[in-house]
Amino acid sequence: MTWEDMIPSCFGATDGTFASHPSDEAQAKDAIAMAQKAGATRDDFEKEMLWHVYKNAKHRESFLELVDKQVKKLEQMW
């Protein structure tokens, strides 16, 4: 499994929020560590993360709202 494959498991199943629950945060930490070990940049991780959010957003407005929160959380964890 690659770090890209782990991205969906970093989000809450019901709220779709990145690393906001203990199990999601643990998955995110593991995915980030794998990405860093593989030589990925934070921007690489962000791109994959945002692609996941985009694919799962029900409306354009919800995507735009979620993006800001997700990126801030990634910046804290990277």
pLDDT in tens, 40-56: 999 999 999 999 988 88
Q: What one-character DSSP code corresponds to residue 18?
A: B
pLDDT at 58 over 80: no
Measure the CA–CA gap between 51 and 21, rounded to whole angstroms: 20
Do the beta carbons of residue 29 and residue 44 sit within 8 Å? no
The region of weakest confidence among 34-38, 44-48, 67-71 is: 67-71
CA distance 8 to 11: 6
**What's the CA angle centered on 34, arms 62 and 48, to 5 degrees?**
25
Q: Please report, as a single letter, which amino acid is at residue 59.
A: H
Q: What is the mean pLDDT of the chain?
A: 90
